[in-house]
């Protein structure tokens, strides 16, 4: 019987710490819709300060944070947003910007490092002369870190260039900053500098930071006023949310400093995978807490069969495609867990191959 569980599916699986639970239990709360929750207000002000923006609003999820942000910037139905073809907003958020907001996505190819070529972004901007035929471009979205590109970091210099392009054409820039603190830790650049060029940013609290629930949107006071109203429209206006914000505040205080260690362990994991001949991994691309590895076609092993075999060892991972697997390190994964997972992968592969040779 397996008594050990190493959950590498995502950094969303973290459990609240005792300090978070204690903060939740003692939080000073009120009705945030009616009069404002004091703990939520203090937390929102702190996040706005850290991000270098005027104001902030707590939302239940990153998906809602991105949806609200896009809809505030694209108030007119039929607006168009330029975003990466492999971005989270485009792929994983149920097409909400279109189905709910009437916003048309225009995708630009993501490079392996998560960026989009500046000239391709500019070429995707609709010319005013075509207003009779085309949607009106109003927004550009970036993602930092870029999840589907392996948790790669988007630099401040690149973001500045996109921001400059947006201003040149009278557009807004939104950053899906689900793991922006990971980017800050990896690049050694303050988080406010990474988002300096952005008009809005959504920041997830329940991934690497380990809070149980929630994200925060930051931007100008006027933007956040509109965002708060949309939050209510979408059913995100909650009551005593100080209970959740108290845990998130502890996460900010205690867990940002742990992100560098997550990145170190991810690199150990990638280096260990390089020693397994049936697998292929580009260790140089591991910049933060995500590791994607490929299964060699000649091995006749699928990502699904490998992940299923790993469950017998108590190791949980997520297929990224039919031939690739994603693992995500978080602060509740120890270095011992990393080595155990690597050993389990070796054993799982041997078992799969052994079964294959007896058929």
Give tens-digit pLDDT for 225-250.
999 999 999 999 999 999 999 999 99
Question: Tell me, what's the pLDDT at 98?
Answer: 97
Does residue 359 carry a pLDDT above 70? no
CB contact at 8 A, 316 and 324? no
Question: Tell me, what's the pLDDT at 167?
Answer: 98
- What sign does the dihedral 95-101-106-107 (CA atoms) show? negative
Question: Tell me, what's the pLDDT at 354?
Answer: 87
Long-range contacts of 275-282 (CB under 8 A, 24+ apart): 276/342, 276/345, 276/346, 276/349, 278/349, 278/353, 279/345, 279/349
In sequence order, which residues have a C-beta less than 8 Å from that of residue 71 and are 6 or more positions away? 97, 100, 101, 103, 230
Please spell the DSSP secondary structure of 217-253, one letter per residue: EEE-HHHHHHHHHHHHHTT---SSTHHHHHHHHHHHH
d(CA 135, CA 263): 41
Question: Tell me, what's the pLDDT at 358?
Answer: 43
**Confidence label for 120 from pLDDT (cuts 50, 70 and 90):** very high
Q: For residue 122, give the 3-state DSSP assignment.
A: helix
Write out the two tokens for 136. 């009106």
Write out the two tokens for 156. 């401040």
Question: Tell me, what's the pLDDT at 195?
Answer: 98
d(CA 208, CA 211): 8
Among candidate residues 219, 240, 241, the one with its CA nearest the CA of residue 60? 241
pLDDT digits (tens, 9 = 90+) for 162-209: 999 999 999 999 999 999 999 999 999 999 999 999 999 999 999 999
d(CA 165, CA 54): 22
pLDDT digits (tens, 9 = 90+) for 26-85: 999 999 999 889 999 999 999 999 999 999 999 999 999 999 999 999 999 999 999 999
Beta strand 290-295 pairing with 324-328: antiparallel
d(CA 305, CA 296): 14
CB contact at 8 A, 95 and 101? no
Residue 340: its H or E element: helix 335-358
Write out the two tokens for 37. 């929750």
- What sign does the dihedral 181-186-189-193 (CA atoms) show? negative
Among candidate residues 164, 228, 227, the one with its CA nearest the CA of residue 198? 164
Question: Tell me, what's the pLDDT at 106?
Answer: 98
Does residue 357 carry a pLDDT above 70? no
Question: Tell me, what's the pLDDT at 298?
Answer: 78
Does residue 332 carry a pLDDT above 50? yes
Q: Name the phi and psi angles at 58, rounded to 5.
A: -80, 135
Q: How many residues does the chain have?
A: 359
Share above pLDDT 90 across residues of the chain, in percent, rounded to a whole number: 94
């Amino acid at each position: 019987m397996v008594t050990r569980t190493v959950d590498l599916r995502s950094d969303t699986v973290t459990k609240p710490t005792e300090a978070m639970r204690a903060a939740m239990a003692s939080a000073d709360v009120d009705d945030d819709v009616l009069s404002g929750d004091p703990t939520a207000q203090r937390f929102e002000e702190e996040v706005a300060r850290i991000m270098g923006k005027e104001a902030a609003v707590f939302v239940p999820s990153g998906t809602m944070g991105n949806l609200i942000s896009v809809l505030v910037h694209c108030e007119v139905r039929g607006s168009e947003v330029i975003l990466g073809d492999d971005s989270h907003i485009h792929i994983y958020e149920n097409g909400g910007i279109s189905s709910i907001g009437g916003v048309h996505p225009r995708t630009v190819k993501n490079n392996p490092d998560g960026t989009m070529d500046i000239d391709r972004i500019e070429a995707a901007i609709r010319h005013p002369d075509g207003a009779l035929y085309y949607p009106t471009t109003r927004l550009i979205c970036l993602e930092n870190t870029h999840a589907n590109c392996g948790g790669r970091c988007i630099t401040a210099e690149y973001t500045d260039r996109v921001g400059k392009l947006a201003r040149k054409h009278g557009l807004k820039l939104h950053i899906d900053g689900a793991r922006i603190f990971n980017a800050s830790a990896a690049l050694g650049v303050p988080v406010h500098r990474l988002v300096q060029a952005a008009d809005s940013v959504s920041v997830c609290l329940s991934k690497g930071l380990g809070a149980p629930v929630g994200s925060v949107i930051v931007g100008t006071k006027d933007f956040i006023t509109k965002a708060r109203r949309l939050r209510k429209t979408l059913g995100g206006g909650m009551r005593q949310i100080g209970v959740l914000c108290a845990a998130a505040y502890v996460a900010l205080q205690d867990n940002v400093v742990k992100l560098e260690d997550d990145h170190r362990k991810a690199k150990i994991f990638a280096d260990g995978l390089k020693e397994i001949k049936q697998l292929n991994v580009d260790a140089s691309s591991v910049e933060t807490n995500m590791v994607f590895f490929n299964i060699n076609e000649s091995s006749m092993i699928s990502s699904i069969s490998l992940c299923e075999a790993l469950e017998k060892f108590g190791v949980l991972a997520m297929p990224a495609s039919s031939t690739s697997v994603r693992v995500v390190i978080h602060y509740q994964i120890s270095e011992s867990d990393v080595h155990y997972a690597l050993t389990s992968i070796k054993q799982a592969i041997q078992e799969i191959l052994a079964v294959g040779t007896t058929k």
